Amino acid sequence: MTSAESGRALSAGIGPVIGWSGDVIVALDQTALPRQTNLVRLTTVDQLVEAIRRLVVRGAPVLGAAGALGVALAVREADRSSWTPSELTYQVDRIRDARPTAADLAVGVSVVRPLIPQGAKVVEAAARSYVDRIVGSNRRLATRGADYLADLFPGKVLRLHTHCNTGALAGVEWGTALGVVQALHARKLVSQVIVDETRPLLQGARLTCWELERLGIDHRLICDGAGPYVLARGDVDAVVVGADRIAANGDVANKIGTYALALGARHAGVPFVVAAPESTLDVTIPDGSAIAVEQRAEAEVTQVQGILLAPESTRALNYAFDITPAEFVSAVVTDRRLIVVPSGPGAIAKQRTA
Ligand code: MRU
């Protein structure tokens, strides 16, 4: 990172967590929350790729924004550094491939990339308008999700359960699953939100609790392993989570720990709702077994902020995501439709064309 500016844009509400300023990307450093609100300026493709890999910039829709804005950044750098066309192609591919599971990163790149021959200004305008569209999509899906849950539980003030972070921090300015919670809260229909801590990087504890506190929504943080028990106790009316990629049959890739929650929800008879933009649906992938699941550094599991939790020689498995089979998903809510998930091959793809 070249520089960090403290606090700007975040004093009231959560402003855009990623944007284009002059000819650089400015993003909120999500690794520093909740203790610090630092903005970072990303001026090169190397810096952007590193920021994406370290989760400075994270969350599926924000990764879509990073992909689109990243193409603009690469075009600027190509001009400055006199890259050949093939060097530019290589650098844009690096952005697209910086994290494999979230569909939206590659979608963001692919929306803007074809405009490269039209020059930097056109590319920048397209990237900025794509970022605006992300926010609009999230607002629409949040309203639809809130309508769905309000209809499912007429007159009830809801106890909800969520995993990871799907709020404005993940959605540029408005969240997906947490956007649904926020929309329900605006209707005075939320009594409490249960938040999984979301090991190993604690997006639930660090980010979702931070957002809920700012929104004034009552919440309780639980250990990831407590989720199924809390559901079994009858303390939750519905689970609402986001998604990083949804296959054609409705299998859902989302932050590790989602699958356990879905199993717990099914056992407890609690609806399990997935909220994500259409761009997260990847109908080129028949089912979850074909989704690339990112494996991250072992040290993220064996250490917390540099402190060893296990014997030095302990090896870890660090799957960043898991795949929840479609049969455990009650509904998928997108910016365009509500899919009450049927099971079977191509279930989502069939509804797409219906
Ligand atoms: O690894 P992250 O923090 O980028 O994880 C992505 C997520 O926040 C979740 O999996 C989320 O549910 C999808 S993004 C709204």
Pseudo-torsion of CA 226, 220, 331, 184, nearest 10°? 170
Interval 230-244: pLDDT, tens: 999 999 999 999 999
pLDDT band at 13; cut points 50, 70, 90: low
What distance in Å separates the CA atoms of residue 48 and residue 66, rounded to the nearest whole number?
A: 8
The overall average pLDDT reported for the chain is 93
Specify the pairing of strand 24-28 against strand 18-21.
antiparallel
- Residue where the block lists tokens 């690096």: 94
Q: Is the Cβ–Cβ distance between 235 and 191 less than 8 Å?
A: no
Mean pLDDT along residues 301-313: 95
Please report where in the chains the tokens 């609100």 appear, as a residue. 37
Looking up tokens 């957002």 gives 211
| Closest ligand 1 atom number to CA of residue 175 | 15
pLDDT tens sequence across 186-217: 999 999 999 999 999 999 999 999 999 999 99
Give bridge partners of residue 38 from the DSSP assignment: 6
Query: What pLDDT is stored for residue 350 in this prediction?
Result: 55
With beta carbons less than 8 A apart as the criterion, state whether 17 and 33 touch: no
Q: How far is the C-alpha of 135 from the C-alpha of 56, rounded, in Å?
A: 19
Q: Give the Å distances, CA to CA, from 329 to 89, 122, 270, 302, 342.
A: 38, 40, 10, 31, 9
Which residue's alpha carbon is nearest to atom 6 within ligand 1?
Answer: 59
CA of 169 to the centre of ligand 1 (A): 10
Rg (CA), the chain: 20
**Which pLDDT band holds residue 349 (cuts at 50, 70, 90)?**
low
Task: Note whether 63 and 52 are within 8 A (CB).
Answer: yes
Distance 183 CA to ligand 1 centre (A): 19
The arithmetic mean of pLDDT across residues 104-126, rounded, is 98
Residue type, 89: T
- pLDDT tens string 258-299: 999 999 999 999 999 999 999 999 999 999 999 999 999 999
Confidence of residue 3 (pLDDT cuts 50, 70, 90): very low
Q: What is the pLDDT of residue 168?
A: 97
Cβ atoms within 10 A of the Cβ of 73, count? 27
Q: Separation of 138 CA from ligand 1 center, angstroms?
A: 14
Crossing angle for the helix pair 60-81 and 85-96, nearest 10 degrees? 160
The residue to which tokens 């794509």 are assigned: 130
Supply the DSSP string of 188-243, one letter for each residue. T-EEEEEEE--TTTTIIIIIIHHHHHHHT--EEEE-GGGHHHHHHTT--SEEEE--
Cα–Cα nearest to 237, from 155, 116, 120, 117: 155
Q: Which of 31, 56, 104, 164 to mutate for ligand 1's pocket (most ligand atoms within 8 Å of CB)? A: 164
| pTM of the predicted protein model | 0.93
Give 20-42 pLDDT, tens digit per residue: 999 999 999 999 999 999 999 99
Is residue 276 classed as helix, strand or coil in its secondary structure? coil
- Its ipTM equals 0.97
Mean pLDDT of 48-77: 98
Query: How many angstroms is it from 12 CA to the middle of ligand 1?
Result: 24
Question: 282 catalytic, yes or no?
Answer: no
Which protein residue has the closest C-alpha to ligand 1 atom 8? Answer: 59
Pocket test for ligand 1, best of 141, 165, 174, 280 (most atoms within 8 A of CB): 165
Ligand 1, pocket residues at CB < 6 Å: 55, 58-60, 164-166, 170, 176, 203, 241-244, 254-255, 320
In contact, 261 and 225? CB cutoff 8 Å: no
Provide CB contacts within 8 A for 327, sequence distance 6+. 343
Cis-peptide into 34, omega within 30 deg? yes
Check residue 274 and give its pLDDT: 98
pLDDT category at 251 given cuts 50, 70, 90 is: very high
Both tokens assigned to 21 = 């300023």
Residue 61 token pair: 């829709």
Tell me, what's the pLDDT at 347? 59
Residue type, 17: V
Residue 27: phi and psi, rounded to 5, are -140, 150
Which of these is catalytic: 196, 224, 237, 244? 244
- Could you give the CA distance from residue 98 to residue 44 in angstroms, rounded to a whole number? 14
Name, in order, each residue with C-beta under 8 angstroms of 291's C-beta and a sequence gap of 6 or more: 101, 245, 247, 251, 253, 282, 285, 321, 323
Q: Is 297 helix (H, G, I), strand (E, B) or coil?
A: coil
